[in-house]
Amino acid sequence: MAQEPLLQLKGVSKSFGAVQALYRVDFAAYRGEVMALVGDNGAGKSTLIKGVAGIYPFDEGEVYFDGQPVQIHNPREASALGIEVVYQDLALADNLDVVANMFLGREMIQKPWRLDEAAMERKALETLDSLAVTTIRSVRQPVAELSGGQRQSIAVAKAVMWNSKLVILDEPTAALGVAQTRQVLDLVRRLADNGLAVVLISHNLHDIFEVADRITVLRLGQNVKEFIAADTTHEEVVHAITAGALRHVPGMVKNG
Amino acid sequence: MVLGGKSLSLAGYFREYGKRIRAGDLGALPIILGLLVIATIFQTLNQNYLTPRNFVNLILQMAGITTIAIGVVYVLLLGEIDLSISYVSAVAAVFMTMRLRPPDGWPWFVALIAALIFAAAIGFVQGLIITRFKLPSFVVTLAGFLIWNGVVLILIGNGGTVIIQDPVIIGIANYFLPALWGWIVVVGGAILFAANRVMSWNTRRRRGIASTPALVVALQGLAIILAAVVVVSIANQDRGVPFVGILLLILLVGFTFLAERTPFGRYVYAIGGNAEAARRAGIQVQRIRVLVFMISSFMAGMGGVILASRLRSVDTAAGGGSLMLNSIAAAVIGGTSLFGGSGRVISAFLGALVIASVENGMGLLGLSAGVKFVVTGLVLLLAVLVDAISRRGRARSGVA
């Protein structure tokens, strides 16, 4: 598929003081595809997605969204473009029910200032239906009563409810058991099949080969390689993560 | 499989309810049982306990604490605390009383509104200090507790007592509705309330969202109306429905609406449950917190006015004694968690009812203040234990 990427980063860099977290990284995510972002601890995965999410700006490089050059200064601008991030801690309020969590901060209002519970519940049900999240007994139960996989599903559903085009998932299966992981991976696949661009950060190569279409490997803040998942093997990817060729040796004086 | 659901069947509804109870989600059940136990004990010990006269007294006695406790519920929902409530209530009452004093006294409504605004302003300042300097609310409001205690003493001076002469202000806690008006207001209100519930149930049903069975909604509505009828008929055998009882109902309904039906209330719960999630959702966490401390002080001021009206005066003891502890205890006994995010406005009413019932009963028995404190303390302990045990049950069932 030689289509144009939805999100494209060209040569982005980011440093924190003396630490070069990202150095001239290229990255792309495509509509209807799951792009896995892998790399060892400290490879720059989080820095990359935080830049895209508008948590902080990249020092240099270009960001294209839908073919247009964009600058993302804060999370609100990212949301406005249609970029949603599901962080590892999910950011759910345990004491609120599923509907309240999905609409938190963006409640639907009935005339003066009254929550339109019926409309919100309706839309929450529709969203969960469209994602085939069916294991939840009631959308009116507190999130605290849900399993880890269900919570992850709610966080994802919350992210995609707002006409988002790109969903970034940070380690969605890290804390889950086998059956729960299955549930979430199926959900990730469905997001892509529904036409969204999905970026999946994970340490688990098994999960990645199960759902990803492409794999981008980062190592020491640089991108080593982009693989087509179907054309590569575990060994190749592991090798790239641990010993992939770097264009710039860390510590070497970099000079334009 | 309620997803995309229809109305639950009656059996299904009760099965769900039973499941919740067994899982430890007891709701108001322990309190209602507790109240029954309290009533039985005191009635066997003293035949004057369950009389129309004492019933009306109970409403008068619990009005002040309930009002203050409503504000406490909001603060506790955030996971914060407000220790200054008792003396904020006293300051508001003293302020109003002094502004009413002839010869150049203000009209009652000006003095009342000014006192309430003054109270809210105290909450604004305390809330601002807590949020801006990231200080624990415990310490800031403890300072407030001392400061406003001092201000009360300074304002009243050595005079000791300031009498309230304004008939309207005295009427707040001393006026009783004529029998007919009691019927019209209370039962009429109950019918409106029940009708509202039926309508919102109908809206949900029309939009095809899982709703409770029609029979349950109908029974709930009838129960509300029936309760209103019982209350009015008992009160009318004595002096009638006290005005302050109506005021309490309005406050309870209003603040329940604010907590459960508006975005503001939703944000209060969200911040209490997970402040970071609320912040990321774009909620202005600090602004909400300041507003909640304003609500707390405002309700304290309102409670202070009710207490002063009942005594027809304020003195240097205003806000003292066990007022602060009882108000916080009321919210907690009623089922509001100290850890934030869990509780309802009605718990202010239920908890205050328990405390006032115990105090009232022991007063009838002529027991000393020492015994009252011990028993109230034990009730508080029991309430927290029940909550902790049921919470453990809930956590267990949550994993399933």
Q: Where are the alpha helices (DSSP H) in B81-213?
A: 85-100, 108-132, 137-156, 167-174, 179-182, 188-206
* pLDDT tens digits, B245-270: 999 999 999 999 999 999 999 999 99
Percent of chain B with pLDDT over 70: 94
Give residue A21's domain range: 7-91+164-243
Q: Would A152 be classed as within a structural domain?
A: no
Q: Would B191 be classed as within a structural domain?
A: no
Mean pLDDT of chain B: 89
Q: How far, in Å, CA of B68 to CA of B337, rounded?
A: 17
- In this predicted structure, the answer to whether residue B390 has a pLDDT above a threshold of 90 is no
Instruction: For residue B277, give the nearest of A91, A107, A113 by CB distance.
Output: A91
pLDDT at B120: 98
Structure tokens at B190: 């109950």
Neighbours of B186 (CB within 10 A): 22
Contact B203 A147 (CB under 8 A): no
pLDDT at B125: 98
Contact B1 A137 (CB under 8 A): yes
- In this predicted structure, the answer to whether residue B24 has a pLDDT above a threshold of 70 is no
E strand or H helix at A219: strand A214-219
The C-alpha of A150 sits at a distance from chain B's nearest C-alpha, in angstroms, of 11
* pLDDT tens digits, B54-82: 999 999 999 999 999 999 999 999 999 99
B59 and B244 Cβ atoms separated by less than 8 Å: yes
Average confidence (pLDDT) over B99-107? 89
State the sign of the Cα–Cα–Cα–Cα dihedral B187, B192, B193, B197: positive
Q: How far, in Å, CA of A105 to CA of B270, rounded?
A: 10
- In this predicted structure, the answer to whether residue B296 has a pLDDT above a threshold of 70 is yes
Q: Would B278 be classed as within a structural domain?
A: yes
Cα–Cα nearest to A5, from A64, A60, A57, A80: A64
Higher-confidence residue of A242 and B168: namely B168
Q: Would B192 be classed as within a structural domain?
A: no
B398 pLDDT band, cuts 50/70/90, is very low
Q: Would B59 be classed as within a structural domain?
A: yes
Task: Domain count for chain A, please give it.
Answer: 1
Q: Would A113 be classed as within a structural domain?
A: no
Beta strands in chain B (DSSP E): 161-163, 313-315
B30 pLDDT band, cuts 50/70/90, is confident
Task: Domain count for chain B, please give it.
Answer: 1
pLDDT at A256: 40
pLDDT at B400: 32
DSSP state of B7: P
B324 pLDDT band, cuts 50/70/90, is very high
Going by C-beta distance under 8 Å and a sequence separation of 6 or more, which residues neighbour residue A212? A34, A35, A36, A200, A229
Instruction: For residue A92, give the nearest of B204, B274, B399 by CB distance.
Output: B274
DSSP 3-state assignment of B180?
Answer: helix
pLDDT at B86: 97
Q: Would B303 be classed as within a structural domain?
A: yes
B2 pLDDT band, cuts 50/70/90, is very low
B7 pLDDT band, cuts 50/70/90, is low
Going by C-beta distance under 8 Å and a sequence separation of 6 or more, which residues neighbour residue B221? B194, B195, B197, B198
* pLDDT tens digits, B33-42: 888 999 999 9
Q: Would A58 be classed as within a structural domain?
A: yes
Contact A113 B3 (CB under 8 A): no
Measured between beta carbons, the chain B residues lying within 8 angstroms of A118 are: 203-204, 207, 209
Q: Would B237 be classed as within a structural domain?
A: no
Going by C-beta distance under 8 Å and a sequence separation of 6 or more, which residues neighbour residue A224? A217, A218, A240, A241, A244, A245, A246
Q: Would A78 be classed as within a structural domain?
A: yes
Percent of chain B with pLDDT over 90: 65
Interface test with B, best of A50, A95, A180 (most B CBs within 10 A): A95
Below-50 pLDDT ranges, chain A: 1, 254-256
B31 pLDDT band, cuts 50/70/90, is confident
- In this predicted structure, the answer to whether residue B4 has a pLDDT above a threshold of 50 is no
* pLDDT tens digits, A172-226: 888 788 888 888 899 999 999 989 999 999 888 999 999 999 999 998 888 888 8
Contact A94 B2 (CB under 8 A): no
Q: Would A122 be classed as within a structural domain?
A: no
CATH number, domain of A223, equals 3.40.50.300
Give residue B354's domain range: 29-38+46-175+242-388
CATH number, domain of B63, equals 1.10.3470
Q: Is the preceding omega at residue B103 within 30 degrees of 0, hence cis? A: yes
pLDDT at B399: 38
Q: How far, in Å, CA of B347 to CA of B334, rounded?
A: 4
Average confidence (pLDDT) over B356-378? 89
Q: Would A217 be classed as within a structural domain?
A: yes
Q: Would B330 be classed as within a structural domain?
A: yes
Q: Would B7 be classed as within a structural domain?
A: no
